[in-house]
Amino acid sequence: MIELGGVSKSYGAVPALDGIDVTFGTGQVCMLLGPSGCGKSTLLKLVNRLLRPDAGTIRVDGRDIGELEPETLRRGMGYAIQGVGLFPHMKVAENIGIVPGILGWPRARIRDRVAELLELVGLPADYAAKYPREMSGGEAQRVGVARALAADPAILLMDEPFGALDPVNRQRLQQEFMGIQRRLRKTVVFVTHDIGEAVRMADKLVLMGKGTILTEGPPLEIAGRAELVAKAFLGSGFVLELLEKYTVLDHRHLLVPAEGCPPGTGRVEARTATLKDALSAMLLAGRDCVEVDLDGVPYRLRFEDLTRAFAGNTL
């Protein structure tokens, strides 16, 4: 767990963060979202001690990071820097393997790890022998992500790690990342400008304004605070992204018995269909409800109940 208490930081006379209180829970993905220059990168750099706070304390698993050796602290945290920062004189394999090497992993294990990570981020195995200058920006960025994951750290600090990727690869990497996350349960602090990415990946969403935290919480909960949502430039897309985040099963408390479904109603599978799929089925069939199959038992989801999912935070 990472806890920031009353943390402030300014660059010279320019304040960048002002009294930040926030907690990033163990095993959770926390997405930091906010306009450019609001202090997201500064916050990450405070957590791995690239910067020291002017005021306040930062604790990792209960220990004040000011009391730890910076190198020890950092080797327990993968860090994907905004703007890639690959070492231009090292091949991809050396870039990815540098921290495992420092930690004393045997060569063969590092080689296997590099191959595994390249596959994970969707790069061909022979990219191991390339230099950063021989890759596109998006490819280099994926190597940056692989490098952050290399030594399997418990904490990941990711500063817009998918920013240079095309939408297809971006979604693919998001899914890969969530796949790893479900298995390994890392503590992730992830900066993004992409609302869809934030909503899809977040266990907890932290919305920042200029140097402050506007609001934080699970995405669905945040949707209930319409006023703040508008203030944080989330826009209407935010709620529609939420529809895609949850399956009908996640909201099975909204289901009602199937009796009374008019003929011609659409039908979805509760385990696989998202709320967006359910809404689409309603729109396609021109009905204000959809039939839901939950493990062979038929139910019904009504539009009026769906609206409750957002207004009332009933998850």
Partner 1 sequence: MATETRRRPWLKEPLLLGLLAFSVFDFPRLAALLSPLIGEGKPSVEWAPLPVLAGQHIGVVLLSSTASFLVAFSLGAASHLYGLKGLQELLLNVGSFGESFPTAAVIALAVPALGYGFEPLLLALFLYGLLPVLMNTIQGLTGLDRDVVQAAEGMGLTRVQRLLRVELPLAAPMILAGVRTAVIINIAAASIGSVVGAGGLGMPIVSGIRTFDPVLILKGTIPIALLALLADSLFRRAERRLDRRVRSATPA
Ligand X SMILES: Nc1ncnc2c1ncn2[C@@H]1O[C@H](COP(=O)(O)OP(=O)(O)OP(=O)(O)O)[C@@H](O)[C@H]1O
Q: Which does 11 bind (CB under 5 to 8 A by kind): ligand X, Mg ion, partner 1, none?
A: ligand X
82 binds Mg ion (CB under 5 A): yes
Min dist CB 293 to partner 1, Å, is: 45
Q: Which does 38 bind (CB under 5 to 8 A by kind): Mg ion, partner 1, ligand X, none?
A: ligand X
Give the residue from 282, 275, 288 showing the smallest Cα distance to 315.
275
| Residue closest to Mg ion, measured at CB | 41
- How far is residue 133's CA from residue 137's CA, in Å, rounded to a whole number? 9
Min dist CB 237 to partner 1, Å, is: 25
Contact residues: ligand X, CB under 6 A: 11, 14, 16, 36-42, 82
- How far is residue 225's CA from residue 240's CA, in Å, rounded to a whole number? 15
Min dist CB 41 to Mg ion, Å, is: 3
Min dist CB 11 to ligand X, Å, is: 3
Of 133 and 182, nearer to partner 1 (C-beta) is 133
Tokens of 271: 């385990």
Contact residues: partner 1, CB under 8 A: 45, 48, 50, 70-75, 77, 79, 81, 83-89, 98-99, 102, 131-133, 135-138, 140-141, 147, 157, 163-164
Tokens of 177: 């990342």
Degrees to nearest 5, angle at CA 206 with 203 and 210:
165
Would you mind telling me the total number of residues written for the chain in this entry?
315
**102-109 own/partner pairs: CB under 8 Å, 24+ apart:** 102/75, 103/75, 103/151, 105/151
- Piece in contact with Mg ion (CB under 5 A), picked from 39-47, 88-96, 213-221, 243-251: 39-47
The alpha carbon of residue 58 and the mean position of all alpha carbons in its chain are separated, in whole angstroms, by 21
Min dist CB 276 to partner 1, Å, is: 32
DSSP characters for 166-178? -HHHHHHHHHHHH
Give the residue from 4, 16, 94 showing the smallest Cα distance to 47.
4
Q: Is the CB of residue 116 less than 8 Å from the CB of residue 93? A: no
Of 22 and 282, nearer to Mg ion (C-beta) is 22
Q: Which 278-307 residues touch Mg ion, going by CB under 5 A?
A: none
Min dist CB 96 to Mg ion, Å, is: 23
Of 82 and 181, nearer to Mg ion (C-beta) is 82
Min dist CB 39 to Mg ion, Å, is: 8
- How far is residue 236's CA from residue 313's CA, in Å, rounded to a whole number? 17
Of 48 and 247, nearer to partner 1 (C-beta) is 48
- How far is residue 198's CA from residue 261's CA, in Å, rounded to a whole number? 36
Of 42 and 141, nearer to ligand X (C-beta) is 42
Q: Which does 14 bind (CB under 5 to 8 A by kind): partner 1, Mg ion, ligand X, none?
A: ligand X
| Number of residues in contact with Mg ion under rule CB under 5 A | 2
- How far is residue 147's CA from residue 151's CA, in Å, rounded to a whole number? 8
Q: Is the CB of residue 232 less than 8 Å from the CB of residue 33? A: yes
Q: Which residues bind Mg ion (CB under 5 A)?
A: 41, 82
